[in-house]
Chain A
Amino acid sequence: MSTEMYKPGSYPNLPPPPGTVGFYGWIRNNLFSSISNTLLTIVSVVLVYYLIDGIIGWFFFDAVFDADSKIECRKINDGACWAVITRRVGQFVYGFYPEAERWRIDISFLTMFIAFAPLLYPDLPKRKWLLWFSGIFPFFAFILINGGFFGLAKIEYSLFGGFMLTVILGVTGIVCSLPIGILLALGRQSKLTVVRTLSICFIEFMRGVPLITLLFVASSMLNYFMPPGTNFSILVRVIIMFTFFSAAYIAEVIRGGIQAIPKGQYEAADALGMNYWQTTRFITLPQALKISIPGIMNTFIGLYKDTTLVVVIGLLDPLGIGRAALADTKWNGLSTETYLFVALFFFVSCFAMSRYSLWLENKLNTDHK
């Protein structure tokens, strides 16, 4: 050991001891920090190995992507038989929407992103102009998808199906339920006893019963409550129910946000001479909505997932299409493939929504940590 002498203040910066930083350091700290940790790592690695080995093989390498029936699939290989999907991919996406008219769905779907962009990303350039488009988009999409105007052929609702139906139900429900939910939350916090009681009754009723009973009501009973002779489409009835159902949940989330606002905020608003609506518009809602973003997004994701329930009352969402495919004797018994395919679609869209929610939450987070 040689000892070197340094002048005060001139001691060189030494590298950290080996094995505490960098790749090895990371591995040591995160995977092998103790005996139990090492065991856990080994178990996890074995688990991952078997999962990947089994699943990847079944999904891709042993899978059959095109065949005429299940029996033919099995003759070719013993993995997944994706032919049940590839043969009906059009139905899974568009339902029974006429093939020649499918471009209308495509255009609506693509323009939907343009319409939502200014709402979702507050920093977008030319946002004001795009917001105008967001405003007219619902009418634009309705005309395009439904038809009956400008020489576009009218398409029956009963032909709607597949992922397109999921998106229509989900997006319409989400867009309509937010304003109703805000009104209900304000109603529940109102000083007026009548308004408060009515809001509480509505919210508790909607949250207390399973969605499926509400859908049964929509499909079998709602017409009794309308003047004799009215008959509006099952799709509209279902959207109404979805909207009310998720509005009740959103109301509760927003109520939590309203209650989290410090009392001083209201006192300050009163001191400035603001009336109720001004306080609500400029003080309560901006803060309450910001706090409740995660909850609202969770409710939206829940609503989007719940759209699958329409299969129980006979609408042909992706699950309905899948079940119809499975009822075909050629594809009988391929339920795992079919449902996993639909599950993947939902996973991708719901995961994207929850990522967006996290991003927005971080962006709007103004407390300086």
Chain B
Amino acid sequence: MSFLSNIWRNEKSREIIVQIFVLLCIGWFLSWLISNVDANFKALGKDISFEFLFIPAGYDINQYLIDYNNRDSHLRAGIVGLLNTGLVAVFGIILATVLGISLGIIRLSKNWLASKIAYWYIEFTRNVPILLHILLWHGIIINTLPHPRKALNLADVTFLSNRGFYIPKPLTENGIELVYLFLVIAIIFSVLFFKYAKKKQDLTGVQYPVFWINFFVLISLPLIAFVISGMPISLEIPALKGFNFRGGMHMSPELAALTFALGIYTAAFIAEIVRAGILAVDKGQREAAESIGLKSSKVMKLVILPQARRVIIPPLTSQYLNLTKNSSLAIAIGYMDLVATLGGISLNQTGREMETMVIVMLIYLSVSLSISAFMNWYNNKVKLVGR
């Protein structure tokens, strides 16, 4: 008896006992779940197999980045869906970042009115569920924009209608290679020049207007190549043929609604992150920078932003991740993303809930785990090192 109570009183052995007990409980619980699945599947005459991935999907997808038709396999439909998820995530992230940073800066503006407008905009957007944003935008595009025949005409090249947005499509012709070549040269030059200028400044203190020189080179070199090779880019302008537009690039109402909704919703969160990041920089830093005579743009660029960046980037990344996960709500308006293809129609057609959901979840899981791994790496890199 005293031996047993000694084991329990010893911290090391008690920890081991508790852990073994927890393991046994979890093991029993998992085996109970698996045996239930087994019994249920036997009763229904189902099995677990991934062969369905290779049979023809048999459904159409209205938006695809790689070739797809309904004779392609479920696997390919899933990949099309995954690419669509990526597409809307990229659009949304660009919109959210631009809008969010501007809003965050306006929110900090000394102008009372502008700051209040930004405040109420942020409060209104982020306190309304994302699904409502998506449905609202979709509804606005579908119900209030005119038919293609009476489409809103922006400068005769872009048309907004309830069947989507039509924008000019750049077509490349012979000689475009020269433009690409010059663009690459310009990029290489600006990277080298940036490094050179930084080294020069470190050594001698001489500053070059790096930004403006690089900006000029990056714009002018490809432009020169564009002119001397005979303007090898032409625009294919959408034109009304019958009941709908032909030519140009087409952005479906679903894609547009989803981009707006995700971008605008996430922008409100990004604005708060940017604001909090800038406010997190100690007041003394700004005062010190002003007292050594830096002008206000330099104070921002050299003192505030580098320190705010450390606070801003981790939550910003997780907002990007949230945006990507929120894009799965596309299913509510019929945009064919990963959840709508593989986890939606493929699931219903093949009746393989277990397999499709496992694949979909694993894909999202691997994306978010790799992003959080990146974030940990970044946090360690920019962490303040205590001396």
Q: Which residues of A contact B (CB under 8 A)?
A: 30-31, 33, 37, 40-41, 43-45, 47-48, 191-195, 198, 204-205, 207-213, 216-217, 220-221, 223-228, 301, 305-306, 308-309, 311-312, 319, 323, 333-336, 338-340, 342-343, 346-347, 350-351, 354
Is chain A's interface secondary structure helix, strand, loop, or mixed overall?
helix
Q: A309-B329, A312-B331, A346-B129 are in contact. Are A228 and B111 (CB under 8 A)?
A: no
Contact partner, A212, options B23, B41, B113, B329, Cβ 8 Å: B329
**Alpha-carbon distance A119/B245, docked complex (angstroms):** 60
Across the interface, which residues of A come within 8 angstroms of B127, CB to CB? 301, 305, 346-347, 350-351, 354
- Tell me if B117 is interfacial: C-beta within 8 Å of chain A: yes
Residues A40 and B109 in contact, CB atoms below 8 Å apart:
yes
Residues A210 and B22 in contact, CB atoms below 8 Å apart:
no
Across the interface, which residues of A come within 8 angstroms of B339, CB to CB? 210, 212-213, 216
Give the number of residues in B that approach A within 8 Å (Cβ atoms): 55
What's the nearest-Cβ distance from chain B to residue A160, in Å? 19
Residue of A191, A216, A301, A333 with most chain B CB atoms under a 10 A cut-off: A216
Contact partner, B357, options A211, A221, A351, Cβ 8 Å: A221
Residues facing A in B218-253 (CB within 8 A) are none
What's the nearest-Cβ distance from chain A to residue B20, in Å? 8
Residues A195 and B114 in contact, CB atoms below 8 Å apart:
no
Is chain B's interface secondary structure helix, strand, loop, or mixed overall?
helix
Contact partner, B40, options A228, A301, A319, Cβ 8 Å: A228
- Tell me if B294 is interfacial: C-beta within 8 Å of chain A: no
Across the interface, which residues of A come within 8 angstroms of B353, CB to CB? 216, 220-221, 224
Contact partner, A347, options B124, B332, B364, Cβ 8 Å: B124
What's the nearest-Cβ distance from chain B to residue A36, in Å? 9
Q: A212-B329, A335-B136, A347-B124 are in contact. List 16 more A-B contacts (CB 8 A).
A: A31-B113, A45-B113, A192-B19, A194-B22, A209-B368, A210-B364, A212-B339, A213-B328, A213-B343, A216-B347, A226-B36, A228-B40, A308-B131, A312-B332, A335-B135, A336-B143
Residues A342 and B132 in contact, CB atoms below 8 Å apart:
yes
Q: Which 10 A-B pairs have the closest CB atoms?
A: A335-B139, A350-B127, A30-B112, A305-B129, A210-B328, A208-B365, A194-B19, A208-B368, A210-B325, A339-B136
Q: A212-B329, A225-B33, A225-B36 are in contact. Are A340 and B112 (CB under 8 A)?
A: no
Contact partner, A221, options B19, B143, B354, Cβ 8 Å: B354
Across the interface, which residues of A come within 8 angstroms of B138, CB to CB? 335
Residues B22 and A198 in contact, CB atoms below 8 Å apart:
yes
Across the interface, which residues of A come within 8 angstroms of B43, CB to CB? 228
**Alpha-carbon distance A323/B129, docked complex (angstroms):** 16
Residues B328 and A351 in contact, CB atoms below 8 Å apart:
no
Minimal Cβ-Cβ distance residue in A for B330: A212
Minimal Cβ-Cβ distance residue in B for A348: B127
- Tell me if B281 is interfacial: C-beta within 8 Å of chain A: no
- Tell me if B207 is interfacial: C-beta within 8 Å of chain A: no
Across the interface, which residues of B come within 8 angstroms of A220, CB to CB? 347, 353, 357
What's the nearest-Cβ distance from chain A to residue B355, in Å? 11
- Tell me if B369 is interfacial: C-beta within 8 Å of chain A: yes
Minimal Cβ-Cβ distance residue in B for A205: B365
Residues B37 and A225 in contact, CB atoms below 8 Å apart:
yes
Across the interface, which residues of A come within 8 angstroms of B361, CB to CB? 209, 213
